Structure 1
C-alpha cells in the first residue's frame, strides 16, 4: 500500500477531494492574476522603450512593438552618461552595505550575546521605533544633515548622510539578533577564555558563521538602495552626485517620453537581475524576518 506524499500544505489524498481541488485552483488563478498585474507595468515600460517615436505615441498603444530599436539603448546610455549615475549608485550601495552590516550587526551582537545590564530596556525601545511612522523623523533628520550638531557641517551633496541613515535600522537589528541567538553561546565563551576581545569574537567568529543572514541582508540592502529616491533626491543636488533614480527624475523635463522609458529600463534591470539570481536567499531572508521573537 502506497503512503500519501505531502507537497506543501496539501497532501495527495487531500488534493483528490473535489472541494480541496477547487480551492487549490481558485487560489492558483488568483495568484496568477496578481502576478500578471505586478509584472505588466515593468514589462510594458521595457518593451515600450524600444519603440520608435511614432509608434510610442500611437493611440491605442501597442503592447508588443512592431519593430525593436535596440540601438536606442546605446545612444541614450552615451548621450546622458548613465555610466556616471551607475557609478554614483554603486558608491552609495557599497557604503550603505558596509554601514548596515557593521553597525546593525554589532547592535544585534550586543543584544544577543553581550547583554549588559539595561540592554533589555534599550532593545524594547528599538522594538517601539518599528511602530513609528517613517515620516516622523524627516524634518529633524534633514535639519541635522544641513547643519550637523556641534560640528556645524553641511552634509548635502555628499553620500555620508545616506550611509549614516543605514547605520541604525531596527528591522535589520532584529534580524541579526534573531540569527545570532541560534549561535551556541559556548563558542563565544571559549573564544573569550582564549583571550579574544569582544570585537574580535564578532569579526572572527560571529560574522563567519552568519553567512545566510549576511547574504540576505546584503541583497535586500542593495535592492533598497537602488530603488531609494526620497533621501538621495533631498541630499544630492549636484548633478555629478546623482544616483540613477534621481537622474531620471531630474532629467525628465528635458527628455522625450520614449527616452524616459529607456532610463526607467536602466533603473529596472539591475534589481530584477539581482532578484532572479538570488531569489532563493531573499525568500530565506523573509523566513528569518518572520521568525523574529520578542
Structure 2
C-alpha cells in the first residue's frame, strides 16, 4: 500500500514545465524576501559603521557607503573599552553555561531515567514557571541577591549575580529530558549489568550520544546571557556587559561610532551561530522520533 503526501503543489504539476518554472520563481522570491528581512538589519549595522555621520543621516539613505572607512570601528573599540566589556560578558556567559549544563542535565536525567517520586508533578511545575513573565521576577530576584537567604551574602557586582538566576532553566530541562527519553533503556540496562552506577552511566553512556542537544542548550544559554540588558544593568554596574556598556556611552558618541559598536557587540554570537548551525539543527530535531 502506497501513501502520498499532500502538498501545495502536486507532483503532476511539478512535472509540467510551466508548473516547475512557477514553483522555482515563487521559491526564489520567498527565499530572497526572508534573506532580506533577516540580513537587512545586519547589513545596515555593518555599512553604517563604514559611513560618515553626515552620510548616515542622509535622506534618502545610501545602501553602499560612498567613502567607506573603518575609523568608526576602531574608535568604538577604544572609546567603549570593548576588550573589558567583552571579557566581562564572556565570563558571565561561560559561568552561566557551565552551571546550566551541570544542573539542567542532572535534573533532566533524573526526571527521564531515574523517575523520582512526584517526578511528573515536578516537571509540570517547572513548565508552569515558564508562564511567568520574566519582568515579574526582576524585583524578587533583585531582593534575593541583595541578601541571599541563610548565608546573607550580597552578590551585587559579582559574577554570581548573573550565574545563579540562570541555573534553573525550565525550557532547557524539558529539551534535555525529551532527548534522554529517546535513549533506549536497554542501553542503560546493559551498562548497569556491567556494574556502572547511575552517575557513571550518565557520564559514559548518555552524555557522549547527547552532543547535539547539549550544543543547542549551550547556544541558548550563551545567547540568553549575551543579549540580556535589564538584569546586568541593575546588578553589575561596576562590571558592565557589552549591551550595558554600549547603551551607557550611546549619548556621548557619533551615530556611526555607536552603530559600529553595536555591530562589534553582536559579531561573536553571529560567528557562533554560523559555526554551530548544523549542531543547532541536529539538536532541535534530536529526540523527536524514536526508533
- Alignment TM-score, normalising by the size of structure 1: 0.86
* CA distance in structure 2 between the aligned counterparts of 1:196 and 1:187, rounded to whole angstroms: 12
Aligned to 2:119: 119
User: Conserved in 2, the CA contact under 8 Å of 1:85 and 1:244?
Assistant: yes
For 1:90-145, what per-residue CA distance to the aligned partner results, in whole angstroms no more than 9, with x for missing partners? 10121111111111111110011100222122122222223333333222112111
Aligned to 2:205: 205
User: Conserved in 2, the CA contact under 8 Å of 1:108 and 1:177?
Assistant: yes
* CA distance in structure 2 between the aligned counterparts of 1:56 and 1:180, rounded to whole angstroms: 51
- Unpaired stretches in structure 1, ≥5 consecutive residues: 1-5
* CA distance in structure 2 between the aligned counterparts of 1:292 and 1:230, rounded to whole angstroms: 38
Larger mean CA deviation between 66-75 and 87-96 belongs to 66-75
* CA distance in structure 2 between the aligned counterparts of 1:132 and 1:57, rounded to whole angstroms: 41
How far did residue 34 of structure 1 move? 3.7
* CA distance in structure 2 between the aligned counterparts of 1:292 and 1:234, rounded to whole angstroms: 43
Give the 3 Å change call, closer, same or farther, for CA 188–86 of structure 1 in structure 2.
same
What is the DSSP-based 3-state SS (H/G/I as helix, E as strand, rest coil) of the residue aligned with 2:209? coil
User: Conserved in 2, the CA contact under 8 Å of 1:162 and 1:232?
Assistant: yes
What is the DSSP-based 3-state SS (H/G/I as helix, E as strand, rest coil) of the residue aligned with 2:164? helix
* CA distance in structure 2 between the aligned counterparts of 1:273 and 1:220, rounded to whole angstroms: 14
How far did residue 59 of structure 1 move? 3.0
* CA distance in structure 2 between the aligned counterparts of 1:14 and 1:170, rounded to whole angstroms: 46
For 1:246-273, what per-residue CA distance to the aligned partner results, in whole angstroms no more than 9, with x for missing partners? 1101111222211111110111211222
Q: Give 1:20-31 correspondences, 5 Å limit.
A: 22=22, 25-26=25-26, 28-31=28-31
Larger mean CA deviation between 46-55 and 195-204 belongs to 195-204
Give the 3 Å change call, closer, same or farther, for CA 254–292 of structure 1 in structure 2.
farther
What is the DSSP-based 3-state SS (H/G/I as helix, E as strand, rest coil) of the residue aligned with 1:210? helix
Larger mean CA deviation between 211-220 and 102-111 belongs to 211-220
User: Larger relative contact order (C-alpha < 8 A, sep ≥ 6)?
Assistant: 2
* CA distance in structure 2 between the aligned counterparts of 1:31 and 1:130, rounded to whole angstroms: 33
May I ask how many residue pairs the two structures share in their alignment? 284
* CA distance in structure 1 between the aligned counterparts of 2:47 and 2:148, rounded to whole angstroms: 45
Equivalent of 2:272 in 271, 274, 278: 274
* CA distance in structure 1 between the aligned counterparts of 2:131 and 2:103, rounded to whole angstroms: 21
What is the DSSP-based 3-state SS (H/G/I as helix, E as strand, rest coil) of the residue aligned with 2:208? coil
For 1:13-65, what per-residue CA distance to the aligned partner results, in whole angstroms no more than 9, with x for missing partners? 44236678757744653453243123212211210111123323333332211
How far did residue 11 of structure 1 move? 7.1
Please tell me the root mean square deviation across aligned C-alpha atoms, in Å: 2.7
Aligned to 1:231: 231
User: Conserved in 2, the CA contact under 8 Å of 1:126 and 1:170?
Assistant: yes
